[in-house]
Amino acid sequence: MDIAETLEGIMALSVEERIQIVQAILESIAGEKGYPELTSELQQELDRRARAYDANPEDVMTREEMRASIRRR
């Protein structure tokens, strides 16, 4: 399989289709090898986000709201 040709075909897809491909690739990686070890910086960011959520659990966006926000950019 030629990666350049594959990427060219992927780039011809819609953004939504490309997102679906990325999600499928990430799921396949997680299924095969599990998740990579978190860096200290990433662990701190996840902890910060968890604290922010715990402090204000109503301040969230649905998946649809998040997608709409991304598409407006």
Instruction: Please return the burial class of 34, using the count of CB atoms within 10 Å of its CB with bins 0-12, 13-18 and 19+.
Output: exposed
> Is residue 31 located within the same domain as residue 61?
no
Contact 60, 53 (CB under 8 A): yes
In the chain, % helix, strand, coil (3-state, to 5) comes to 75, 0, 25
Helix/strand/coil for 16: helix
> Is residue 45 located within the same domain as residue 21?
no
pLDDT of residue 30: 77
> Is residue 43 located within the same domain as residue 32?
no
- pLDDT digit string (tens) for the chain, length 73 residues: 689 999 999 999 999 999 999 999 988 887 777 667 889 999 999 999 999 999 999 988 899 999 999 999 8
Domain extent for 51 = 37-73
> Is residue 19 located within the same domain as residue 41?
no
Looking at the 3D structure of the chain, how many domains does it have?
Answer: 2
> Is residue 55 located within the same domain as residue 70?
yes
Please tell me the pTM assigned to this model.
0.43
> Is residue 27 located within the same domain as residue 42?
no
> Is residue 24 located within the same domain as residue 43?
no
Q: What is the DSSP letter of 13?
A: S
